[in-house]
Structure 1
Amino acid sequence: MVMRFSSRVGSTRLNVIAEAERAARAEGVRLETVNDSNPTHHGLAPKEVPGVYTAEPRGPLVAREALAEFLTKRNAEESSQVQEQAQADSVDPQRLYLLSSTSQAYSWIFKLMCDPGDIVLGPKPGYPLIESIGGLECVETLEYQLEFDGSWFIDVGWIERLLDGPQRERVRAIVLINPNNPTGSYVKPEEREALVALCREHGIAIIADEVFFDYSLEPFAGNRRLAGEQGALTFALDGFSKALAAPHAKVGWIQVSGPDDMVDEAQRRLDVIADDYLPFSDIIATRMPELLAAVPGQLRRVQERTRANLKLLHTMLDEDEAGLVSVLRPEGGWNVLLRFPSMIDENDLVLRLIHDSRLTGQPGYFFDMAGNGYLAVSLLPEPDVFRRNINAVLKAVSALMAA
């Protein structure tokens, strides 16, 4: 299947001047320009921001090389635990894009793949970010269902029927959040195999949001990253916001993989978008090595907190005499979904928390849960705060049931 890209990005054909410039550089000719308006080329950079600005659309090469080395090492460690690797361990820095956030990455890829009115598939339940960014890009988001039967799974059959239906030509990409927020569910191996085959058959790109991948809680066996997937055109998103547990560390990246011809065409067009926005600061690039070095320690620190709080949650729910609240199995991430009797309105529960405990929260309908009776809870607070939060929820549920 031929991959169709957005017409918004513009032609990749070079004009006669650009063709002549490329030919000259291919022959080793170094071209100067009479309209060089980069002040750092002319000794005008301030001492507070030293160096020469090179305007590399994908991000400074030295920073991408540091990131590629980090990702390659991580892949090697993970592949030693997996018998079969569908993706390459080695990460090419030329297939990485540095930008300010995964939100910006979504925006760029929507521009790359979709004309206005085209469709991107996203998970339901799910975080509403995809729909919001899709709206800003004039892209329609259509939700595929995650079902729960003791664990979460993707309704692959529904996606297959959609791609065989009248809207198939408008579907340009599918978002796979691995693991999903707030369900905490990873993409299972059999789901991955089926979806990669569907995307390859129908010329659809995969957008794999894997910012929570390292934060496993109660996973099933066989989960793997989609980053590096070779079977279909894949854009894997990650960044420091979750890896460092630092939302203010505005560094995200896209790793492009898949069949070489599709990747080459995608990158030619994605370079146009990146060159228009040039979002990544050289100042931040100089700190990439030290920030990457801090990732393993931060991952361990957050994992210890989330796993300890999940254990505490199980204990508190087991010891609760009312037995009205349960937790849906969280495979990964740092949020969980609590389940309470559906006769209690979700708004009433949150309003009760506000009134009685000066706490608030996000009910299930914020994430398009199929039914009533869910509350999203973070596993990040310090244990005493987390215990207080859960006690408040249990007290509010009991009070509403007794009312």
Structure 2
Amino acid sequence: MKFSHRVELNEPNAVAVAQGAARRDGTLKVNLADSNPTRWGLGAPGLPPYEPDPRGPRAAREALAAWLSERDERTVNPDHLYLLSSTSQGYAWLTKLTCDPGEQIAAPTPGYPLVETIAGLENVGVDFYPLTWVGSWWELGDLNPAAVRAVVAINPNNPTGSYVHGEDRQRLLNYCADHGVALIADEVFFDFDLPGAPTRPADRQRLAGTSEVLTFALDGMSKNLSAPGLKIAWLEVSGPEPDVAAALARLDVIADAYLPFSDVLAGRLGQYLAAVPAATRATRQRCRQNLATLRDLVRTEPSGTMSLLEPEGGWNALLRFPAHVDEDALITGLIAQRGITVQPGYFFDMPFASVVSVSLLLDAPAFRPAIEALLAGIVDQL
């Protein structure tokens, strides 16, 4: 496994070795270089003493590992977890870890543009591999044999709402194994399955915890708790033990440079985790109800010119209409004449024209009339 040259593992100097030994045997009395005010009676009252850990406070990681172990029915090692402020931060760290400037990662298209934006900020390119609509589902296309340093898989994908099915999962793992590259699995929408989700367990399986190749799984409270403002995310490292050990050592260097996670949030992590099941159920139910409404309105629309690209999971759905209807003209007209807006398909690099992405999160009194206005706006453009 090749890692970037950005992260160097240096041997500790003589002072660090001596300090470590003295701390372990209790002979170090005073650290005159200590710049942590919470050890000396200073700082805001009521806050816990600050004890930095690059992976996040141990107690919080143990709580998260126990929760993940129960959720996924597998054993999760707290030492393989990193607490983050966001999955975006995880993408940035993993890009630093795997890529030198000028190298590339692979990512799916259609896809959310965040991956490309973060890669660009890290001076890294993106080599896109296609997801192809084959009539009733999205199929993984060929990965370019060009030299990439990591492969991103979004499970389920945004905006297509497609899970990584069994055959495609194995192709991704084989590619990473054959080319000696890491797999980055973004699974923030995994638990928001919709009625069209695969029924075979092999076709709806987490990549988190994969043992075949070095895998970095991203997840977080932004989606699990339907709380975008609650900046708690995590990164789990799995795979062959030598690769995991090498990755952890290098990630520690990156994490120690940022120390991003709040001890205050760490102290509340248990209560947030306890609230996830109810929040996830409520959001999943809302999305399912709105998807049923959308499906019914499209089916009964008199022109018969529109179709729903049935999502398997996630928070949105794709609506397709005749190709001569321009997305920009449609949406600007909707804004001006009906006071509603949607996201155009080209925002996600859709492989065909005349698609919009519709959020399934709106409450029913807002969702149904807005969809009716959208469909009427499309008819006006025919």
Same fold (TM over 0.5): yes
Q: Which residue is equivalent to 1:134?
A: 119
Task: Provide the rounded CA distance (Å) in 1 between the counterparts of 2:139 and 2:346.
Answer: 19
* Deviation of 1:13 (Å): 2.8
Letter in 2 for 1:386: F
Q: 2:239 maps to which residue? A: 258
Q: Deviating runs (4+, > 3 A) in structure 1?
A: 19-32
2:173 counterpart of 1:196: yes
Structure 1 residue 30 displacement after superposition: 5.7
Could you tell me how far apart the structure 2 residues matched to 1:355 and 1:209 are? 36
Q: Which residue of 1 aligns with 2:152?
A: 175
CA–CA distance in structure 1, aligned partners of residues 350 and 27 of structure 2: 60
CA RMSD of superposed structures (Å): 1.4
Q: What's 1:10 paired with? A: 8
Provide the C-alpha distance between the structure 1 equivalents of 2:167 and 2:27, rounded to a whole number of angstroms.
Answer: 52
Letter in 1 for 2:48: G
State the match for 1:232 in structure 2.
213
Among candidates 255, 277, 283, match of residue 264 of structure 2: 283
Tell me if structure 2 keeps the 8 A contact 1:324–1:397.
no
In the other structure, the counterpart of 2:185 is: 208
Range with greater deviation from structure 2 (192-201 or 273-282)? 192-201
Pair 1:25–1:194, CA change in 2 (3 A):
farther
Tell me the secondary structure at the aligned position of residue 286 of structure 1: helix
Q: What does 1:335-350 correspond to in 2, within 5 Å? A: 335-350=316-331
Per-residue CA distance 1:228-263 (angstroms, 9 max, x = gap)? 000111100000000011100111100111111111
Deviations 1:191-230 (A, max 9, x none): 1112112212211111100000000011112211011000
Amino acid at match of 1:58: R
State the 1:324 CA deviation.
1.7
Whether contact under 8 Å (1:229, 1:258) holds in the other structure is yes
Q: Which of 267, 271, 281 is equivalent to 2:248?
A: 267
CA 1:28–1:91: 2 relative to 1, 3 Å: farther
The whole-number CA distance in structure 1 between the counterparts of 2:105 and 2:177 is 16
CA distance in 1, matches of 2:69, 2:29: 35
Residue in structure 2 matched with residue 54 of structure 1 by the alignment: 51
**1:86 alignment counterpart:** none
Tell me which amino acid in the other structure corresponds to 1:119. Answer: Q
Question: How many angstroms apart in 2 are the aligned matches of 1:41 and 1:60?
Answer: 17
Is the CA contact (8 Å cut-off) linking 2:211 and 2:239 kept in structure 1?
yes
Query: Are 2:222 and 1:241 equivalent residues in the alignment?
Result: yes
Aligned amino acid, residue 219 of structure 1: A
- Is this contact kept in 2: 1:12–1:269, CA < 8 A? no
CA deviations 1:258-296 (Å, max 9, x no partner) are: 111111111111011111101101111111011000000
The alpha-carbon deviation at position 28 of structure 1 amounts to: 7.0
Deviation at 1:328, TM superposition (A): 0.3
Q: Does 1:331 align with 2:308?
A: no
Alpha-carbon shift at residue 355 of structure 1 (Å): 1.4
C-alpha contact (below 8 Å) 1:96/1:255 kept by paired residues: yes
Instruction: Tell me if 1:387 matches 2:351.
Output: no
Aligned residues of 1:45 and 1:51 also touching (Cα < 8 A): no
For residue 219 of structure 1, what is the aligned residue in structure 2? 197
Picking from 91, 94, 98, the partner of 2:79 is 94
Question: Who is 1:154 aligned against?
Answer: 140
Instruction: Give the one of 357, 362, 366 matched to 2:347.
Output: 366
- Helix, strand or coil: the match of 1:375? strand
Q: Is the 8 A contact 2:19 2:28 kept in 1?
A: no
Aligned residues of 1:211 and 1:238 also touching (Cα < 8 A): yes
Give, in angstroms, the shift of residue 23 of structure 1: 5.0
The verdict on how the C-alpha distance between 1:400 and 1:249 changes in structure 2, with shifts beyond 3 A counting, is same
Q: Secondary structure at the match of 1:369?
A: coil
Distance 1:35 1:271 in 2: 22
> What one-letter code is carried by the residue in structure 1 that aligns with 2:327?
E
User: Partners in 1 of 2:303 and 2:152 — Cα distance?
Assistant: 39
Q: For each residue in 1:309-330, what CA deviation from the matched residue of structure 2 results, as whole angstroms up to 9, or x when unmatched? A: 1111111112111112211010
Match of 2:72 in 1: 75
Letter in 1 for 2:55: R
Hey, what's the Cα distance between the residues in 1 that align with 2:33 and 2:51? 15
- Provide the rounded CA distance (Å) in 2 between the counterparts of 1:25 and 1:197: 46
- Structure 2 unaligned segments of length 5 or more: list them: none
1:33 paired residue number: 31
Give me the whole-angstrom Cα distance separating, in 1, the residues matched to 2:178 and 2:368: 49
Partners in 2 of 1:93 and 1:269 — Cα distance? 17
Is the CA contact 1:12–1:268 (under 8 Å) kept in the aligned structure 2?
no
Count residues with an aligned counterpart: 377
Secondary structure at the counterpart of residue 294 of structure 1: helix
Which amino acid in 2 is paired with 1:288? L
1:119-130 map, 5 Å: 119-130=104-115
Partners of 2:378 and 2:29 in 1: CA distance = 72
Residue 7 of structure 1: how far off its partner (Å): 0.7
Q: Does the CA-based 8 Å contact 2:111-2:159 persist in structure 1?
A: yes
